[in-house]
Chains A and B, each alone.
Chain A
Amino acid sequence: MKKIHIIALLVIAVAFGVILASLSNNSSYASFKEATDHPRNTYHVVGKLDRAKAFEYDPHVNANLFTFYLVDKDGTERKVLLGKPKPDDFEKSDQIVVIGKATGNDEFVAADVLMKCPSKYTADSIPGQKQSSL
């Protein structure tokens, strides 16, 4: 066997390994219910903000704690505790992804949050919203 063949085999093996390992990182999207069923796993939960309930952020108590209520795609609502300051323009965000774990008492502890702000980083926006600014 030529060296080039050995290398080719190695490369293919490494590539497969890399692909499989990259894909088998244990993170997946889930609902609050699934997250509650598996309290040890960390999940991404996609949801919308419950604007009827107040967010809480009081830097005088703790600068690293922000709480809000999120309704996931199945309609389940959870109180989310985020270990960070309240992000800028949190109110304006349309869709929110929280990354973290469920706790026993129907809370969700998020280490990070991703917001899809309709207008912040992107060129486009929800048409109606911009139109109303005219």
Chain B
Amino acid sequence: MNEVTYIGEQIGWQYAGNSFVFLSFVAALLASFSFYRSANDNELADGPWKKLGRIAFTIHSFAVIGIMTTMFCMIFKHLYQYHYVWEYSNDAMPRRYTLACFWGGQEGSFLLWTFWNVVIGNVLMRTAKNWEPPVMTTISLVQVFLASMLLGFHVSGLTIGSNPFILLRETPGFLNAPLFNTPDYASKLAKTAQGLNPLLQNYWMTIHPPTLFLGFASTVVPFAYAIAGLWKKKYGEWQLDALPWTFFGIMILGTGILMGGAWAYESLSFGGFWAWDPVENASLIPWLTFVGAGHVMIVYKARKNSAMSTFIFPIITFVLVLYSTFLTRSGILGNTSVHAFTDLGMSGQLLIYLLFFIVLAIALIIINWKKIPRDVAEEELWSREFWMFLGSLVLLMACVQIVVTTSIPVTSKLAGYLHDKLPFMKDAFEKLSKQAPPIDRIGFYNKWQIPFAILVLLILSFGLFFKFKNTDMKQLWKQIMLPFIVSVVLCSISVLLLKETNGFYIALLFMGWFAVCANFYYWMKNKKAVFLKAGASFAHVGFGLIMMGALISTSKKQIISVNTSRKSVRSIDESFSDATNIRMDQGDTLRMGDYYVTYAGKQKVGKNILYAIEYLSKDVDTKKYSLQFTLHPIIQLNPQMGNVAEPSTKHFYDKDIYTHITYADPNSLKEENPGQQYTLARNNTLGIDDKMYSSRDTITLIGLDSHIDLKKYNLKDGDIAVGAILSITDSSHAAYKAEPIYVISGNQVEAIDDTVVKAGLKFSFTKIDPQNHKVDISIAEAKQVARDYIVMEAMIFPYINVLWLGCLIMILGTTLAIRQRIIKSREALKKENAGNETQA
């Protein structure tokens, strides 16, 4: 190989970045070992191992911040010689997306996760007291694994991590690019830099990933506590400390998932807020078991009965987070998801991490199986703990269904492998290996999840009315009667209004109302409507509203852009629908639902083309249109990655009208408003009331106008000007007016043309023949007779605001619950201290 001395490469960042990566890995390793020794030796308050562990974790923290700062600077300084910067940013991108570029790639998003774990670890080092060494052992161990994701070593076929500080010329696939024979190549990369995927150039991209990853990161806390409890054989003391963290995680992860839904709804073209895409599912599954974990921990804290489930749920949750990471980042979802990451060659590494924590957790549970406290006496049927436990199990079952279906690419791959290796059960494995994800994905998941949702809502409607230990059922029925009757009434009204006929939907709708009414009533009656005690009730009310909003807006979604063109696709196949996309020529007005819709035109703003879609209403009597509102769906032009369409939505309190461009005239995208070309002018000699014709329109000479405002046309005082008043009518009976002018200025004859853009016509008044009372008017037609068009989709989502309202209430409720949990765990600590003092 010929050696080239490169000019203008800034290698320093690579050295700094790699040093930080290495340091963060080694420090995490040291921290986990030190905390392990400290916990294993049962060190007293300030033992040497614990001190060392803290120092190591602090160094690790600084190293992680160092990595992030280095990467941030590289992106900010546009150092395109680095692959990560070249891949995820470019000069054209606004500065506000620098953060989004940072976590646009796999390495950056792992770093985001690592960073949140650092934050959590630092809080725990200050608050976890006696639990610090064993809990920090697990957290440091997780950090070892996460830090190794950035190492970028290649050991005998296995890739250990993907390094974000690799130069473009060192990146596999770019090694032999001829550009790298030029010494000053670094200055020539700005042109080709890829830039962030246009889908991600969005404000959601700056807030959604940090929230979601904080949610993912927080699952490590109850997991680490559970592992610590098993390891130190203190089975029943950790739940109280882990509870505020668990509810914090439930709140943050829930918010992150809902933000993803809102993002998809607002600016991606999914046509809804939840599409059951494997990547969406991957974020939902740990949340379901996380909610289960929070509830079984409350049960244990209140009753000190069986501790088993308080170990199982947090462990499953954390394992599912790892599994989700594996699913979305190993490339295994390749054919089934539109937005999974592709393989960076780390699937082996991810699998090892997953298996490591599964084996560790299972081994610890088996070792401690006999000793984990269990309830001697059986739980009462009518006790709160029993129903909370049951609710958690239903969530787990719902989660199993999603996991199994989302994992079809995994199971089919595994079955294919077993089919090749095993001599028996060939047929079964072959069948499994050809398994494809469900055809009607959304319908399939909805069908399965609605019964689970009904059960969960049923349990959480009654839930709070049950008392721990045992409940006087007569009392309970009496209490629940009023909210029950109110829900029946409200449900009946809404069923009638929505004309709902599906039994399952009606059941879900009723359970939604019941959950809202019952929990609200509980708060009013039992908590005396004290705002700070609203935690559980509000979270449940919010969940009920989310389910109702999701149900109504999805099942009553109405597509109004019905195809009216001559050829119907339903004649080709019954599965095809004409009621989806519709072509609209510029200027056309078509009826859609209660509206008349016009494609008025488009405008280029930066890299976006804004389409103006006008929604009009028609007055019954006067038959006149009046503009109600205008929507501006966007097509973002991106020559490097392809154009991206962004919908536009009009929000009303009771419905949303969603408009999305599914296809745009490619010719009109390329040219930026070219100078209009006209055909050669055709002359017509006309008298008053005579008609002439263009290829589409009829033009009538109405009369001549001698009162021309000379100043308006920059004419001199002595000039003589005559206008020809023309009326143009096209096939759809739209009428336009035109007035070309004939001017005699001294000896010169001049014509002032008039152009009617909408009709694509240009008129010229060229001659007056006073003897025969005739005039000559020439017509030129716009060359591009075919008008600009779009293919669009318009739909109505009724009552989707119920969903968003539910989200806000649930987040508020969970936040109040966290506050309550922190207060309770502080009170317990005080009591414990007081107890210790009296004992002493």
- Whether B577 contacts A64 by the Cβ 8 Å rule is yes
- Whether A92 contacts B642 by the Cβ 8 Å rule is yes
Asked if A53 is at the interface (CB within 8 A of a chain B CB), the reply is no
- Whether A123 contacts B104 by the Cβ 8 Å rule is yes
Contact code string A59-73 (vs B, CB < 8 Å = 1, else 0): 111111100000000
- Whether B583 contacts A22 by the Cβ 8 Å rule is no
- Whether A111 contacts B576 by the Cβ 8 Å rule is yes
Which B562-579 residues have C-beta < 8 A from chain A? 563, 565-569, 572-573, 575-578
Chain A residue at minimal CB-CB distance from B87? A123
Q: Which of B401, B408, B580, B663 contacts A18 (CB 8 A)?
A: B401
CB-CB under 8 A from B397, the residues of chain A are: 11, 14-15, 18
Q: Which of A27, A59, A97, A127 contacts B791 (CB 8 A)?
A: A59
- Whether A124 contacts B343 by the Cβ 8 Å rule is yes
Chain A residue at minimal CB-CB distance from B792? A63
CB-CB under 8 A from A59, the residues of chain B are: 583, 663, 789, 791
- Whether B434 contacts A28 by the Cβ 8 Å rule is yes
Contact code string A90-117 (vs B, CB < 8 Å = 1, else 0): 0010010101110100000101101011
A60 to chain B, nearest CB (A): 7
CB-CB under 8 A from B378, the residues of chain A are: 2-4
CB-CB under 8 A from B791, the residues of chain A are: 59, 63, 85
B250 to chain A, nearest CB (A): 22
CB-CB under 8 A from A89, the residues of chain B are: 642-643
State A122–B200 Cα separation when bound (angstroms). Answer: 11
Chain A residue at minimal CB-CB distance from B174? A131
A97-B573 contact given A27-B437, A62-B565, A85-B581, CB 8 Å threshold? no
Which one of A30, A64, A101 has the greatest number of beta carbons of chain B within 10 Å? A64
State A88–B644 Cα separation when bound (angstroms). Answer: 8
- Whether B390 contacts A7 by the Cβ 8 Å rule is yes
Asked if B493 is at the interface (CB within 8 A of a chain A CB), the reply is no
- Whether A114 contacts B569 by the Cβ 8 Å rule is no
CB-CB under 8 A from B344, the residues of chain A are: 123-124
- Whether B381 contacts A11 by the Cβ 8 Å rule is no
Chain B residue at minimal CB-CB distance from A25? B438
* Interface size range of chain A in the complex: 35 or more
- Whether A27 contacts B411 by the Cβ 8 Å rule is no
Asked if A130 is at the interface (CB within 8 A of a chain B CB), the reply is yes
A123-B105 contact given A57-B663, A130-B173, A134-B192, CB 8 Å threshold? yes
B446 to chain A, nearest CB (A): 13
CB-CB under 8 A from B396, the residues of chain A are: 11
Asked if A49 is at the interface (CB within 8 A of a chain B CB), the reply is no
- Whether B663 contacts A46 by the Cβ 8 Å rule is no
- Whether B575 contacts A131 by the Cβ 8 Å rule is no
State A46–B637 Cα separation when bound (angstroms). Answer: 29
CB-CB under 8 A from B640, the residues of chain A are: 119, 133
B156 to chain A, nearest CB (A): 22
Chain B residue at minimal CB-CB distance from A62? B567
CB-CB under 8 A from B341, the residues of chain A are: 122-124
Q: Which of B173, B342, B411, B580 contacts A123 (CB 8 A)?
A: B342
Asked if B592 is at the interface (CB within 8 A of a chain A CB), the reply is no
Which one of A2, A23, A97, A133 has the greatest number of beta carbons of chain B within 10 Å? A23
CB-CB under 8 A from B576, the residues of chain A are: 64-65, 83, 109, 111
Chain A residue at minimal CB-CB distance from B561? A63
State A46–B335 Cα separation when bound (angstroms). Answer: 9
Which A22-60 residues have C-beta < 8 A from chain B? 22-23, 25, 27-30, 42-44, 46, 57, 59-60
Asked if B7 is at the interface (CB within 8 A of a chain A CB), the reply is no
Which one of B88, B339, B405, B644 has the greatest number of beta carbons of chain A within 10 Å? B405
Asked if B432 is at the interface (CB within 8 A of a chain A CB), the reply is yes
Chain A residue at minimal CB-CB distance from B440? A111
CB-CB under 8 A from B334, the residues of chain A are: 116
- Whether B342 contacts A131 by the Cβ 8 Å rule is no
A74 to chain B, nearest CB (A): 14
CB-CB under 8 A from A46, the residues of chain B are: 335
A11-B583 contact given A19-B400, A25-B444, A134-B177, CB 8 Å threshold? no
State A111–B344 Cα separation when bound (angstroms). Answer: 32
Chain A residue at minimal CB-CB distance from B661? A85
Asked if B736 is at the interface (CB within 8 A of a chain A CB), the reply is no
B179 to chain A, nearest CB (A): 5
Asked if B281 is at the interface (CB within 8 A of a chain A CB), the reply is no
Asked if B417 is at the interface (CB within 8 A of a chain A CB), the reply is no
A7-B393 contact given A27-B439, A85-B663, A134-B174, CB 8 Å threshold? yes
CB-CB under 8 A from A109, the residues of chain B are: 572-573, 575-576
A124 to chain B, nearest CB (A): 4
Q: Which of A65, A86, A128 contacts B173 (CB 8 A)?
A: A128
State A3–B378 Cα separation when bound (angstroms). Answer: 8
B445 to chain A, nearest CB (A): 10
Asked if B70 is at the interface (CB within 8 A of a chain A CB), the reply is no
Chain B residue at minimal CB-CB distance from A26? B439
CB-CB under 8 A from B173, the residues of chain A are: 127-128, 130-131
Contact code string B398-421 (vs A, CB < 8 Å = 1, else 0): 001100110010011000000000
Which one of A30, A128, A133 has the greatest number of beta carbons of chain B within 10 Å? A133
State A108–B144 Cα separation when bound (angstroms). Answer: 51
Sample of 19 further A-B pairs with CB below 8 A, known A4-B379, A121-B199: A19-B400, A23-B404, A27-B436, A61-B566, A61-B567, A63-B565, A63-B662, A64-B578, A65-B572, A83-B569, A83-B572, A83-B573, A89-B643, A101-B573, A111-B439, A123-B106, A123-B344, A124-B343, A131-B177
Interface residues of B (CB under 8 A from A): 87-88, 104-106, 172-174, 176-179, 189, 192, 194, 197, 199, 334-336, 338-344, 378-379, 381, 386, 390, 393, 396-397, 400-401, 404-405, 408, 411-412, 431-432, 434-439, 444, 448, 563, 565-569, 572-573, 575-578, 580-583, 640-645, 662-663, 789, 791
The 6 closest A-B pairs by CB, nearest first: A127-B173, A83-B576, A89-B642, A44-B436, A85-B663, A59-B583
Can you name 23 A-B pairs with beta carbons within 8 Å?
A3-B378, A3-B381, A18-B448, A23-B404, A25-B439, A28-B434, A44-B439, A59-B663, A60-B789, A61-B567, A62-B569, A63-B662, A64-B581, A84-B580, A84-B662, A92-B642, A97-B335, A109-B575, A112-B439, A116-B334, A119-B642, A123-B105, A124-B343
